[in-house]
Amino acid sequence: MKSFTTHTGLAVAMDRANVDTDQIIPKQFLKRIERTGFGEFLFWDWAQLEDGSPNPDFELNRPEAVGVSVLVARRNFGCGSSREHAPWALEDYGFRVIIAPSFADIFYNNCFKNGMLPIRLSEELVDEIFSRAEKHADYRMTADLESCTLSDEHGFSTSFEVDAFRRHCLLNGLDDIGLTLEHENKISVYEATHGISAS
């Protein structure tokens, strides 16, 4: 898993609440067994018109959204089913930071396990970011996980909270396997003293 310390990227504002995981990655695209390749299907139903052509009004289809890596949304982002494919699709598309007033718990946890930083801010601060994104072309934000601060290039700065364990894992690029391997020496000693074969 990619570690996360500081990220600066182009931000896109998605003025939608209760974005569920079936909108993030619809169920017909869940047949793949790898974690990659889901980005092209992100927000599929919103991104396409009925004839299959790109929807020019969809936030990610606008010319100014090319290369975005910071997503700003409304409350309860990632609700619905617990499919881990949702953060896979967002990460594969190129997102590293997601900002919203609240997230569904399972989605929030899965973001950390997939190298993305979800940031919870108050409704008022999210409103301010939306206003700034509308006002400034090529609006960029910087998320610093070491100092737990979020800022832009126009004077905005705020702190955010992340529990210590999730912060440690993301700073060090540790998924569940990586966490286990941190104790590899102790595991080897245990196996050796209990007659357990590594094979």
Instruction: Provide the residue-wise pLDDT of the chain in tens; the chain has 199 residues.
Output: 889 999 999 999 999 999 999 999 999 998 877 788 999 999 999 999 999 899 999 999 999 999 999 999 999 999 998 889 999 999 999 999 999 999 999 999 999 999 999 999 999 999 999 999 999 999 999 999 999 999 999 999 999 999 999 999 999 998 765 555 555 566 666 566 767 765 5
Residue-level pLDDT at 35: 83
**Distance (Å, rounded) from C-alpha 25 to C-alpha 12?**
18
> Whole-model pTM?
0.89
Are 90 and 113 in contact, with CB atoms under 8 Å apart? no
Residue in the block written with tokens 């950390």:
112
User: What's the rounded Cα separation, in Å, for the pair 68 and 96?
Assistant: 9
Domains of the chain by residue range: 6-193
Provide the sign of the torsion angle of the four alpha carbons 55, 58, 62, 66, taken in this order. Answer: negative
Q: What backbone phi and psi angles, to 5 degrees, belong to 20?
A: -95, 170
pLDDT at 33: 74
DSSP classification of residue 5: S
Residue 66 pLDDT: 95
pLDDT of residue 2: 86
The CATH code of domain 6-193 reads 3.20.19.10
| pLDDT in the model for residue 192 | 65
Is the CB of residue 110 less than 8 Å from the CB of residue 62? no
| DSSP 8-class letter at 63 | G
Q: What is the CA radius of gyration of the chain?
A: 19
Q: What pLDDT score does 176 carry?
A: 64
Nearest by Cα to 121 from 85, 92, 151: 151
**What one-letter code names the amino acid at 28?**
Q
What span, in angstroms and rounded, lies between the C-alpha atoms of 45 and 23? 7
Residue with tokens 């100014």: 64
How far from each other are the two terminal CA atoms of the chain, in whole angstroms?
A: 25
Q: For residue 127, how many other CB atoms are within 10 A of its CB?
A: 13
